[in-house]
Structure 1
Amino acid sequence: MKSLDTLDWVFISIYFIILFGVAIWVIFRKNNNTEDYFLAGRNVGWFVVGASIFASNIGSEHVVGLAGAGAGNKIPMLIYEIHAWVVLLLGWVFLPFYARSGVFTMPEFLEKRFSAKSRWFLSVVSLVAYILTKISVTIYAGGVVVASLLGINFWVGALSTVVLTGLYTVFGGMRAVVYTETLQAIVLVFGAAALTFIGLNEVGGWAEMQSTLGKEYFNMWRPATDPDFPWPSLVITSSIVGIWYWCTDQYIVQRTLTAKNLKEGRRGAIWGAFLKLLPVFLFLVPGIVALTLKTQGKLHWDTPDQAFPVLMSNLLPSGLRGLVAAGLLAALMSSLASVFNSCSTLFTVDIYKKLRPDTSEKKLVNIGRVATLVVVVLGILWIPIMQNISGVLYEYLQSVQAYIAPPIAAVFLLGIFYKRINAHGAYATLVVGFIVGGLRIVLEVLSDSFAPGSFLHTMGTMNFLTFGAWFFLFCVILAVGVSFATAPQTKEQLAGMTYGTLSDEDKASNKTSYNWKDIVVSVIVVAIVISIMIFFNGK
């Protein structure tokens, strides 16, 4: 790793001055009520919505982990990066229901569709999951990146970034998050694009990479018998995780809810889908470049997760290296800011406001700020535990999500498309699904202590993608079974909450929220996704 020089530090300083200038400008604008603080006054345009979706998704753990997947012979993991088609589902299928219901959070939508019990359960589970996965992993990866880039102690790097991000999130709320994320997305895209271009030039182009690593290395489609990435399970489970993450998770959906109206929200999702195509080229390819250079004896790194920072520090010229470093810091800060604000929203709107419904708007905003501060502290306290993570970070993330996603994705999908699914079916699926997912994690950790071939050993060692696919089928059967065993919901409860209960007015309103341009761009995005799938076939 080469250390940063004076010009690099100049670029990093300029970035932070602009970033906090934007944050301070936003903080001094009104944040007097919950709609202002948690949803930026529902007055954000499509460009900022889409950029915010992209920046929220691309954290430092994503940059480091995806490049690690490219460098560690885990090319099938790129299927999670061509989920642009799932982001389109958010805009075209799910968002009209969310926008029409006027909700702040996803648990709040479940209450309107099913019951208050479902809302409570999802709120608590989401908060716990955010603290144990998103916040902790992001801080861990960020600490590693900051420490290696800036040549400082891991704890100093991690704590400084968390505190700085926490400050503007606490005081600026959602408006500060979405506007700073737009700036961060721009910096990250240009910086990583420069690294990809220079890296490909350094190895001698794509053909030389294929020659060095072998064409089979670039095949994302492994046989159904492959022990790590069987293609049927990969397609099914990645789609389930994608629907959960992009269409039902507060962390992402909250960005579209900040839009001025449904049209702007949908276009923001379409723009976000287009941007979602970029990580394959911006982060996965640099990982492959790093492996090629290592194979050629031109670069050295110890673990795949070091591939991106080592490549960046060795290949980029002075100044540009500082810009990409700023981009990595941007990725870390944008992800942290997003999850801090989402946790704050979930706690304030779904828990505190339910317990104290008469609380004033101003006090709720202050409660939101305190909640953000608490989440920041919990994230810091969790860092020592996350330092024990080993292996390829990106694969770890996807395996944990394969245990969280199936019950939530099943409840939302069935809830919107099938009016016979009732509150009992939804609640049973969420609770039982959470228990089964938790048991799988425990069995995976303890698998070595079980007799090979036993039921517990099989459940603990089954491929995580295969487990996710069967788990989703189990959740669907459970939701349908319990719903049919209990009384259906009334027409009044279901009005406008499912496709089968939309009024003529609802349908007419939805039709006026898009035009042919939105359809054409969406088709182009899907065509690019299919092209990438065909390109990475190892031939």
Structure 2
Amino acid sequence: MQPLDTFDWISITLYFLVLIGIAIWVIRKKEENTEDYFLAGRNVGWFVVGASVFASNIGSEHVVGLAGTGASDKLPLLIYEIQAWVVLILGWVFLPFYARSGVFTMPEFLEKRFDARSRWVLSIFSIIAYVLTKISVTIYAGGVVVAALLGIDFWTGAIATVVLTGIYTVLGGMRAVVYTETLQAVLLILGAAVLTYIGLDKVGGWGSMQETLGPEYFNMWRPATDPDFPWPSLLITSTIVGIWYWCTDQYIVQRTLTARNIKEGRRGTIFGALLKLLPVFLFLIPGIIALTLKIRGELHWDSPDEAFPVLMSNLLPSGLRGLVAAGLLAALMSSLASVFNSCSTLFTVDIYKKLNPNTPEKKLVRTGQIATIFVVVVGIIWIPIMANISGVLYEYLQSVQAYIAPPITAVFILGIFYKRINSTGAFATLIMGIIVAFFRIALELVKGSLDPDGFLYHLGAMNFLSFGAWFFLFCLIFLVVVSLLTKAPDREQIVNLTFGTITEEEKKNNKASYSWVDIAISILVIIIVLAVMVFFNGE
């Protein structure tokens, strides 16, 4: 690692000054009500919505983890990064239902479609899942990045970034989060693009990399019998996780609910989908470049998760290195800010307000701020546990998500597409899904002490992608069977909340909310995704 010099520190200082300026501007503008604090007053345009969706997704765990994927022969995981088409599903399919229902949170939508039981389960489960997957992984990756870049120890780096992000999230709420994320998205894209360009020049171009690593390294499609990444399971499970993450998760959907209307929200998701095409080129390819240089003896790193920071510090010139370092810090901070705000929204709107329905707006905002501080503290406590998890960070994240996503995805998809699904089926599926997910994680941890010929061992040792695919099918069947065996929902309760019950007036409103340009750009995104899938086939 090359240490940062004076010009680098000037770049980083300038970034923080601009960030603080935006945060202060937003904090002075904000109003003391829940709509402003949690949804930025529902008055955000498509550009900020799209940039915020992208910046929330691309945290330092993505930068570190995706480059690590490129540097460790786990290229099939690239499929999680070409899910721009799933972002389009959010805008075209799910968002109109969410916007029509006027909800703040995804659990609140489940209550409108089903009942309060589903809302409670999803609220509490989402907060636990955020700590297990998003907060812990983001803080850990942030600690790795900050320690490597700034030459300070892991703990100092991790805690400093958490505290700084916590301050502007607590004070500014959602408005501070979306506007700072827009700056961070621009900075990250510019910095990583420059690194990719310089890196490809350094290794002698794409053809030279293929000669060093061999064409097979660039194949994301492994045979169906592959023990790690069988392609049918990879395709199915990545789609299930993608729909859960992009279309039903508070963390992402909250950004689209800040839009001033459905038209701006949908355009924001289309813009977000276009941006989502970039990580393959900006983060995965630098990981492959780092591996190529390591094989040639021109670069050294110990863990694949160090590939991006080491490449950056060795290849970029003074000043520019500081700018990309600031971009990495931006990625970390935008992800943390998003998850802090989503947690406080879930707690305040879905738990506290439900228990205390007459609480004044000002007190709800204060409760949200206290909840954010609490989540920040929990995140810091979780770091030492996270630091003990071995393996490539990105793969850990995908495997946990493969267990969490199936029941939630099943309930949302069938809840919107099939009006016969009722509250008993949704509640039973969510409870069953949570129990199975935690049971699988427990089996994975203790499988070494189980009988290798026993059923429990096979369930714990089964490939996580195959498990996710079969688990989703089981959730769908379970949900349909329980719903059909119990009373059908009343039509009045589900009007405009499922495809079979949309009124003619709402159909007209939806048709007026898009143009041929929106359709054309959406088709272009799908064509690019298919092109990337074909390109990375090892030939």
Q: TM tier, shorter chain?
A: over 0.9
- 1:220 equivalent in structure 2: 220
SS of equivalent residue, structure 1 residue 47: helix
Q: State the alpha-carbon separation in 1 of the partners of residues 317 and 326 from structure 2.
A: 14
Match of 1:121 in 2: 121
Per-residue CA deviation, residues 44-80 of structure 1 (Å, 9 max, x unaligned), is 0000000000000001111000000000000000000
C-alpha distance in 2 between matches for 1:98 and 1:88: 15
Whole-angstrom CA distance in 2 between matches of 1:442 and 1:341 = 30
- Cα RMSD for the two superposed structures: 0.5
Deviation at 1:151, TM superposition (A): 0.5
Distance across 2 between alignment mates of 1:428 and 1:31:
40
Task: State the partner residue of 1:51.
Answer: 51
Q: Assess if the C-alpha contact under 8 Å between 2:30 and 2:172 holds in 1.
A: no
Aligned to 1:378: 378
SS at match of 1:224: coil
The Cα of 1:208 is off from its aligned counterpart by: 0.4
Gaps of 5+ in 1: none
Quote how far apart the aligned CAs of 1:451 are.
1.1
Deviations 1:451-474 (A, max 9, x none): 112101000000000000000000
Contact 1:416–1:498 (CA under 8 A) maintained in structure 2: yes
Equivalents in 2 of 1:401, 1:158: separation in Å?
23
Q: Which residue of 1 aligns with 2:172?
A: 172
**2:347: which partner in 1?**
347
Deviations along 1:326-380, one digit per CA (max 9) or x if unpaired, are 0000000000000000000000000000000000011100110001011011111
Shift of 1:155: 1.1
Question: Which letter maps to 1:281?
Answer: F
Q: Once the 2 structures are TM-superposed, how far is the Cα of residue 119 of structure 1 from its aligned partner?
A: 0.1
| Secondary structure, counterpart of 1:28 in structure 2 | helix
Partner residue in 1 for 2:67? 67
Aligned partners of 1:201 and 1:157: how far apart in 2? Answer: 32
1:252 corresponds to: 252
| Contact 1:31 1:172 (C-alpha < 8 Å) held by counterparts | no
Give the Cα separation in 2 of the matches to 1:31 and 1:265: 22
Alignment of 1:207-286 (within 5 A): 207-286=207-286
Q: In the alignment, is the contact (CA less than 8 A) between 1:56 and 1:334 conserved in 2?
A: yes
Equivalence map 1:90-489=2 (5 Å): 90-489=90-489
Displacement of 1:32 after TM fit? 1.1
Distance apart, 1:98 and its partner CA: 0.2
Secondary structure (helix, strand or coil) at the match of 1:228 reads coil
Distance 1:54 1:159 in 2: 24
In 2, the alpha carbon distance for the partners of 1:469 and 1:16 equals 43
| Distance in 2 separating the partners of 1:109 and 1:201 | 50
- Contact kept? 1:290, 1:299, Cα under 8 Å: yes
Aligned match of 1:2: 2
Q: CA deviation at 1:31?
A: 2.5
Paired letter, 1:366: R
Count of aligned residue pairs for this structure pair? 539
Question: Distance between the aligned counterparts of 1:459 and 1:24, measured in 2?
Answer: 52
- How does the TM-score come out when normalised to structure 2? 1.00
Give the whole-Å Cα distance in 1 for the aligned partners of 2:17 and 2:110: 41
- Cα distance in structure 2, aligned partners of 1:154 and 1:303: 15
Mapped partners of 1:30, 1:267: distance in 2: 25
- Give the match's secondary structure for 1:187: helix
In 1, Cα distance between equivalents of 2:31 and 2:272: 26
CA distance in 2, matches of 1:471, 1:197: 42
Q: Tell me which stretches of 4 or more aligned residues in structure 1 moved more than 2 Å.
A: none
Gaps of 5+ in 2: none
Q: CA deviation at 1:133?
A: 1.6
Q: Secondary structure at the match of 2:132?
A: helix
Matched, 1:17 2:47: no
Tell me, yes or no, if the aligned pair for 1:88 and 1:273 is still in contact at 8 Å: yes
Q: Which amino acid letter does the alignment assign opposite residue 485 of structure 2? A: A
> Which residue matches 1:76?
76
Q: 2-side partners of 1:372 and 1:28: how far apart?
A: 19
- Structure 1 residue 9, shift from structure 2 partner: 0.2
